[in-house]
């Protein structure tokens, strides 16, 4: 904008100068040469915007514009990467939890079968915080689903309590024994493991 303003001011000043010069010069052959020089200077002044235009560094201007655009796109791109990273971390955690459950199941299976005549059907692990490390301090709950295996002998039937209103099921003596054994075997705090026996 300043360039256009300067160009217009220079043009007006030169035209005034040429007009004053034309008035004070006498009419002779010298006047003809003066008009030629003034005309050439006027052409030079009119060509300055074009010359300035070609002197501009367009690659720099283009890079400047692209950089401004890329900064906006960069923020969006970084946000997308962070979202994908979070998704991948959650998927990894879920896979690791699944593998941990499989390992815990394998660890307890044989001895549980020999000692209590129960097989592990499923192990579900819940963490306190999915973003923290997978350590025993971060385990909120492990639920173990068990199934009694047939041994040919009939065990004593434990009393069943049915209460209205859907009160939580009390842990049977056998479930308590197995829960305590699993907590000890896996090195966990008390009441972290719950067991359910399917018949």
HSE-CB at 95 with a 13 A cutoff on CA atoms is 6
Q: What is the pLDDT of residues 18-58, one digit of tens each?
A: 888 888 887 777 788 888 888 898 888 888 888 777 766 66
Q: How confident is the model at residue 198 (pLDDT cuts 50, 70, 90)?
A: low
Cα separation of the two ends of the chain? 87
pLDDT score at 59: 67
Q: How confident is the model at residue 151 (pLDDT cuts 50, 70, 90)?
A: low
The 139-148 sheet, strands edge to edge: 118-127, 139-148, 193-198
Tell me if the pTM is above 0.85. Answer: no
Among 15-24, 45-54, 67-76, 77-86, the minimum mean pLDDT is found in 67-76
Across the range 58-70, mean pLDDT stands at 70
């Amino acid at each position: 904008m300043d360039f256009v303003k300067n160009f217009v001011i220079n043009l007006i000043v030169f035209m005034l100068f040429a007009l004053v010069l034309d008035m004070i010069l006498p009419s002779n052959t010298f006047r003809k040469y003066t008009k030629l020089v003034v005309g050439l200077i006027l052409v030079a002044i009119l060509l300055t915007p074009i010359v300035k235009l070609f002197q501009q560094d367009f690659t720099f201007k283009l890079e400047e514009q692209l950089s401004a655009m890329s900064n906006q796109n960069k923020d969006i791109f970084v946000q997308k990467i962070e979202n994908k990273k979070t998704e991948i971390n959650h998927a990894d955690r879920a896979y690791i939890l699944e593998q941990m459950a499989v390992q815990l199941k394998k660890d307890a299976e044989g001895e549980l079968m020999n000692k209590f005549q129960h097989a592990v059907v499923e192990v579900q692990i819940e963490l306190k915080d999915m973003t923290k490390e997978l350590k025993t301090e971060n385990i909120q709950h492990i639920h173990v689903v068990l199934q009694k295996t047939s041994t040919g002998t009939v065990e004593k039937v434990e009393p069943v309590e049915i209460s209205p209103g859907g009160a939580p099921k009390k842990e049977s003596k056998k479930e308590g024994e197995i829960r305590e054994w699993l907590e000890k075997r896996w090195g966990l705090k008390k009441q972290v493991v719950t067991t359910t026996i399917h018949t």
